[in-house]
Structure 1
Amino acid sequence: MGANSFMMTFPQFFGRGCSKEAGEKLAAMGCKKVLVMHGKGVEAAGLPAPIVQAIESAGLEVAENNEVESDPSDRIIKKIADFGRAAGVDSVVAIGGGSCMDAAKCVKLLLDNDEPLEVFYDISHSQKTAIPLITIPTTSGSGSEASKGAVVTDTVNGIKRVIIGAGTTPAMALIDPELTLGVPPKVTAACAFDVLAHAIDAITSKMTCRITQAVSYEAIRLMESSYKQAVEHGDDINAREDMQLASNLGGYGIGNAKCSMSHAFAHALGALYHVPHGVCCAIFTPASLEYVSDTCPEQIRAIAELLHTAYDAEDSTREIARKTGEQIRRMYRSVGIDDITAYIPDEEEAIKRLTPVAEKDIMALFSPRPIDGESCEWVIRRTYELARS
């Protein structure tokens, strides 16, 4: 067996209140003018203001932009990059969830490289890196602060693209659980199942290794023990802290082993029907886990035990995976996440529209079993079967 590979390429700081250290961190890197990116929802919650104040108190000038949108499009990324370029910024700070952090990575990429965004859809295309990016997550789901990758909506083709490389790599992350205290229950619930999907994908990916599995198992343990408390009692800082750590560890996992089957379907459902990403992950994780189960029997049993799945000692790996998928569905339904039938009532429509997008998604490359038309149909039909159960 060859050596395991696990990379942690930039520093990350975790702790209550650490977001206010952004100014001193930027000053230490020699920055003078920073583009602070966030969305209008984060702005309405009052989260950017103390961070901006800390940056200005450290002697830096701030150019602030609040145009980040959910599932960021190529158009808004180009617009914000033009804003930053015109302002003459030498650094970027992202304050928000996965959409904001992914958008900021792509904005940094465009500021570093005098080329159009589309050329970087080819992940082999060379990327230069120059200005530093600090990511400050305000939700507990994407783990984007821990990874080099970014997801962007390609508005020309109506699909989601993944961009990854030196140009999308943050300089550091400041992970402050206090910023998540005001996240609404529905968003908290969806984010929790993004965490779970990241961990399961990383554990079952064909690029997995024991180190990836170790951090991903811990992400599952933390998620399972704290997600309901975080949803139902959003002011519980201990639950929020556990979910933030779970999210971060999930980001480490997919940053190394990549996402896999559930995310190929989640990207398709999100791009075509504009369903929140974490909801998409919740919907497709059960059947995806069952489909790949025969490739990783030890991992399936470990996941089942972490999620407190009831199964018999003589059960086959596939049966344990089936029961674990049913357990995951009970978990997401318990916090108000709908089944696929709420978004696409017609099963045949789902097969027709989702299949060609999912099988071409870049995450299909990392599935331990092939993602083709036949497997897509099986996963989608199984997802509807679960919804009807």
Structure 2
Amino acid sequence: MNSLTPLSIDGICRVEFGPGRIDRLPALIAATGHTRAFVVTDRGLRAAGVAERVLKTLDSAGIEYAVYDEVAPNPSTGNVDAGAARARAFGPAAVVALGGGSVLDAAKGISLLVGNPDAVAADADHLWDGADGLPLVAIPTTSGTGAETNGFGVIEDAAAHRKVYIGHPSVRPQVALLDPELTLGLPAAATAATGIDALVHGIESLASRGANPFSVAYATQAVTLVSRALPAAYRDGSDLDARAELMMGAHLAGQALTLSGLGLVHGIGHALTAHTGTPHGVALAAVLEEVMEFSAPAARDAYEQAGRAMRLDPPADGDWARATVAAVREISAALDIKRPLRELGADRPMLSSVAAGAVADAVTKNAPRIPETAEVLEILERTY
């Protein structure tokens, strides 16, 4: 099977993969038990015409729908509350999430709040035991977060100045519709930022304390696909084969992280984004190699798995961790994505808060080497 071969898999989440699969959307909505759709997207996709292509598919099938297109790049609790108010007013429907990770995360929150009419997004910590949300069809338009694979989203509680996890088993998408044609217009910088997120998902899943044979299988294949396809898609955004391979790799990385959890790169990334507004993938790239070097004493086997998945030649000195970090550094350089923290809006007094937030983040507990705040601060100083 090549990367453009259409694929349909039924399971906990039904996966529809391949160019042109967006035409199946009306049937997939009907499979949720609903005849109406509440579409969650962002204004960038409306302006780019991607959303209009999807809405025309619904129009052709005579499906009634409403659109909430105000999801921000780093969605906040207020953003999710506003979308939930619109969805409640529209009434029973399947939620169709069309966009990148921010849109998919916000859509999960919106779906969940509709099922819990007295709740607001700031109640995220308590909603895990709440009532079911609306069924969700996820249509990613970037290849990075793998958010279509799980039932939680990361949103910003602006009042508390922290990232919160909002989710419930019921808002794990019933359908993941992966159509690489929808990613063809993605700019190179966005391709790099979302793609590096997928690569980190694969690497951190391999090294996570929660890794198991299933997550390792997903993560290994994800690292193979993403490390090969990401530079190609960055160089030529119209390369549909590379786009398809990257989309599948990102999806498999999402499957892996859902099982294994992540680690310190994401812990720092979440804290850095909360403090500076830096795009998620750019925040990860800022500290990726440095965290890998810090983690290497406890993650040598995992980094060997990652290096072999990247098809590296066996290093002459036998140091797979060093070779894998070097290969990741080479990919970051090819994508022109790594920036010092001072260019991302972080000032030195802020670093202590970022370090504390990273250590407190739930994902950091899965890191192969659990850091002290002072150790994270040292990593941040190195990347400043």
If the length of structure 1 is used for normalisation, what is the TM-score?
0.90
Per-residue CA deviation, residues 97-128 of structure 1 (Å, 9 max, x unaligned), is 101001000000101113222222257x4032
Per-residue CA deviation, residues 77-110 of structure 1 (Å, 9 max, x unaligned), is 1001101111214221011010100100000010
Structure 2 partner of 1:325: 325
Change (3 A) 1:344 1:68: closer
Note if 1:151 corresponds to 2:151: no
Structure 2 partner of 1:22: 25
Structure 2 partner of 1:32: 35
Structure 2 partner of 1:140: 143
Per-residue deviation, 1:210: 1.8
Change (3 A) 1:309 1:352: farther
Contact 1:34–1:93 (CA<8 Å) still a contact in 2? yes
Distance in 1 (alpha carbons) for counterparts of 2:80 and 2:346: 34
Note if 1:163 corresponds to 2:166: yes
Match of 1:109 among 98, 108, 112: 112
Per-residue deviation, 1:334: 1.8
Structure 1 partner of 2:374: 374
Distance in 1 (alpha carbons) for counterparts of 2:135 and 2:346: 46
Per-residue CA deviation, residues 280-322 of structure 1 (Å, 9 max, x unaligned), is 1222221222222222322211222334667744455xxx434
Distance in 2 (alpha carbons) for counterparts of 1:326 and 1:346: 26
Change (3 A) 1:313 1:154: same
Per-residue deviation, 1:160: 1.3
Q: SS of the counterpart of 1:284?
A: helix
Change (3 A) 1:371 1:102: same
Structure 1 partner of 2:357: 357
Note if 1:12 corresponds to 2:15: yes
Q: SS of the counterpart of 1:68?
A: coil
Q: SS of the counterpart of 1:343?
A: helix
Change (3 A) 1:284 1:122: farther
Per-residue deviation, 1:269: 1.1
Change (3 A) 1:162 1:178: same
Note if 1:121 corresponds to 2:125: yes
Structure 1 partner of 2:8: none
Structure 2 partner of 1:4: none
Q: Let me know the Cα RMSD of the aligned residues.
A: 2.1
Contact 1:24–1:58 (CA<8 Å) still a contact in 2? no
Change (3 A) 1:349 1:321: farther
Contact 1:24–1:55 (CA<8 Å) still a contact in 2? no
Note if 1:68 corresponds to 2:71: yes
Structure 2 partner of 1:220: 223
Distance in 2 (alpha carbons) for counterparts of 1:274 and 1:306: 32
Note if 1:93 corresponds to 2:96: yes
Distance in 1 (alpha carbons) for counterparts of 2:343 and 2:311: 29
Which residue identity does 2:325 align to in structure 1?
G
Which residue identity does 1:210 align to in structure 2?
P
Distance in 2 (alpha carbons) for counterparts of 1:212 and 1:382: 31
Change (3 A) 1:300 1:35: same
Per-residue deviation, 1:266: 0.5
Question: Which runs of structure 2 are paired with 1:208-287 in the superposition (5 Å)?
Answer: 208-287=211-290
Structure 2 partner of 1:288: 291
Change (3 A) 1:334 1:347: farther
Note if 1:306 corresponds to 2:309: yes
Structure 1 partner of 2:62: 59
Q: SS of the counterpart of 2:96?
A: strand
Q: Greater shift after overlay, 331-340 or 217-226?
A: 331-340
Distance in 2 (alpha carbons) for counterparts of 1:345 and 1:87: 40
Q: Greater shift after overlay, 18-27 or 340-349?
A: 340-349
Distance in 2 (alpha carbons) for counterparts of 1:346 and 1:259: 24
Per-residue CA deviation, residues 18-68 of structure 1 (Å, 9 max, x unaligned), is 122111111233313211111111111111223222223333211112111
Distance in 2 (alpha carbons) for counterparts of 1:268 and 1:315: 35
Change (3 A) 1:237 1:342: farther
If the length of structure 2 is used for normalisation, what is the TM-score?
0.91
Distance in 2 (alpha carbons) for counterparts of 1:164 and 1:329: 34
Per-residue deviation, 1:350: 5.3
Structure 2 partner of 1:3: none
Note if 1:177 corresponds to 2:174: no
Change (3 A) 1:130 1:307: closer
Q: Which runs of 5+ in 2 are unaligned?
A: 1-10
Contact 2:226–2:249 (CA<8 Å) still a contact in 1? yes
Q: SS of the counterpart of 2:210?
A: coil
Q: SS of the counterpart of 2:360?
A: coil
Structure 1 partner of 2:192: 189
Change (3 A) 1:361 1:26: same
Q: Which runs of 5+ in 1 are unaligned?
A: 1-7, 385-389
Change (3 A) 1:347 1:65: closer
Per-residue deviation, 1:345: 8.0
Structure 1 partner of 2:7: none
